[in-house]
Chain A
Amino acid sequence: MKKRNLLLYLALIAGAVPTLLPFVWLIRSALMQDSQMFIAPPQWIPEPFQWSNFTEALTAQPFGRYFVNTVVIAVINVLGTVLTCSVAAFSFSRLRWRGRNVVFAVLLSSVMLPYAVTLIPTFVMWQELGALNSIIPLTLPSWFAGAGGGVFNVFLLRQFFLTIPFELDEAAYIDGASPWRVFWLIVMPLSKPAIIVVTIFTFIGVWNDFLGPLLYLNDEEKYTLSLGLASFQSIYITQWGYLMAASAAVIAPIIALFFFLQRYFIEGVTLTGIKN
């Protein structure tokens, strides 16, 4: 038994080392002087710690601005997605109307759709509406139940709503409540875990999105972090200290968010997998 355990932990360590190594490489490079970075065999402890990599990289381009831009887009998307997806999920789970299941199935089919198929007409539409180079194309769709891949959130919320006892609704209706009141005062307060999961995934989606900002944002002052980092990379192409410092700064908020909301992250990923 002991021997088996030892093997088990050895195997786990063997997996964990290559998993963590890129992070170690990222951090040590972010804190290293160029001269030390090019020594062979590679050194692992920065000597001295070059904290100025961070200050210089993050001021060489307005990363603070990119950060604010990204957060603004993320907040608008989270609000829109949570609100409209919940409303739709409520309709699809707790209100009875003809054709409900057919409509839901059709909506859900769009989850499988490759985004490339809708990319060009959507771009042309925003162009015709004069919305290019603004955050409208990156935010407005979220106010229509996430639109496209975001429909998955409707599915997730619907699954969760179905676990809430229907007796609660019935009692409220007998007291003369409207469906909106039932939704807002009964179902939503009981669905916090699902709402947090949708919030996290929407937030990460915005943080990760590259193609969207690349297509729709032209002015540098409107860039998101992803777009800003890509443009930074193309300029400081061999300044590894700067590049790693900037990357670390883009990664850090997400990792911090993860450590605060770890339980919900894991729950959320698990929920998506249990789908089938």
Chain B
Amino acid sequence: MAALSGQRRLERRWGYFMAVPAVLGFVIFTAGPMVASFVFSLTDWQIGGTPAFVGVDNYTALADDELFWKSLTATTYYTLGAVPLALIIAFAVAMLLNQRVRGLPVWRTIFYLPTLVPAIANVVLWIWIFNPDFGLLNSLLRQGGLPTGMWIYDEAMAVPSLIIMSTWGFGNTMVIFLAGLQGVPQHLYEAVSVDGGGPWHRFRHVTVPMMTPTIFYTLVVGVIGTFQVFSQAYVMTEGGPNNATLFYVYYLFRVAFRESEMGYASALAWVLFMIIMLVTFLLFRNARRWVYYEMAGAR
């Protein structure tokens, strides 16, 4: 008994000690800055100047800020296009690869490869692909006798162009789906077959329900990530043409580090935080209706 409590004491002491770096990191780099950014958001503050308390003025000013609404619309548009498209394509390809395909590692590598391209290299490559005169897309369209486009240089086409570009990187999601598909218990498929169900039944009543947790996870991660898109706007379009790709974080960056309006930018940051919380909350609440969870297992 005495030995056990000695062991317990040892574990407790070391337990606290070993958690210190992580807890400190959380306080210094997450919790502290979060509180600070809220306090900043209540001030009028340029870099180098002294902050002046202005209450909720920054937040009310947002309502009249045309660029804020523009950035919110552009980002939502981008997210609504990019996330579902990537999910659908990733799911379809994962389904194909799950059919006992020969050379699976080779196929998987091919589809995974684009996700390895670093963001800026990706951007530089796609600027060239989108080039209206000599780029890959218009060259192919021209050869096929199809109408060409101005892509990122056209106000209406800019966001769809960036959606196409982001879809190229569906490989990550595909690998996750593939692992999920391979984890669907075989006996469920057999049960459907025994009952005379065809491929469609197997897909609709086994694959889809069993995959909903994975789909849900990739959906949440996808939305949060896509909502914070930055590099494309910064390097490719500078938010243009005519602010069509003025994505939220890029706008925030501009306000903070170009116009050095730290107070206003902090308000933007907090609004983004609340939007993401709200969207995540809605996704989770909605999830109960369509995400299938097996009876909580062993634990």
Contact = CB atoms under 8 A, between A and B. Distances in A.
Query: Is chain B found bound to chain A in the same assembly?
Result: yes
Contacts of B69: none
A141 B128 contact: no
A196 interface: no
A92 B19 contact: yes
Nearest to B131: A240
A110 B26 contact: yes
Interface in B146-202: 168, 172, 175-177, 179-180, 183
A121 B136 CA distance: 42
Contacts of B52: none
A251 interface: yes
Contact of A251 (B26, B121, B133, B175): B121
Contacts of A211: 230-231, 253
A228 to B, nearest CB: 9
A144 B22 contact: yes
Contact of A266 (B21, B108, B213): B108
B129 A22 contact: yes
A235 interface: no
Q: From DSSP, what is the main secondary structure of chain B's interface residues? A: helix
B179 A273 contact: yes
Given A118-B33, A151-B22, A274-B179, A22 B125 contact: yes
A210 B119 contact: yes
A38 B15 CA distance: 64
Interface stretch (B4-12, B54-62, B79-87): B4-12
A15 B142 contact: no
A79 interface: no
Interface residues of B, number: 100
B108 A41 contact: no
B46 interface: no
28 contacts: A16-B111, A22-B114, A29-B128, A40-B139, A41-B139, A91-B18, A96-B12, A96-B15, A97-B11, A97-B15, A97-B16, A107-B23, A117-B272, A118-B34, A120-B266, A124-B36, A125-B33, A150-B25, A210-B231, A229-B121, A230-B123, A230-B235, A233-B127, A233-B235, A269-B175, A270-B175, A270-B176, A273-B175
Given A112-B280, A117-B273, 20 more contacts: A12-B93, A19-B114, A114-B276, A117-B37, A119-B256, A121-B36, A121-B266, A144-B21, A179-B11, A180-B14, A208-B118, A211-B230, A211-B253, A226-B120, A229-B124, A251-B116, A262-B109, A269-B176, A269-B179, A270-B179
Interface pairs A-B: 10 shortest CB-CB: A144-B25, A273-B176, A97-B15, A145-B22, A121-B36, A95-B15, A88-B22, A91-B18, A118-B33, A147-B29
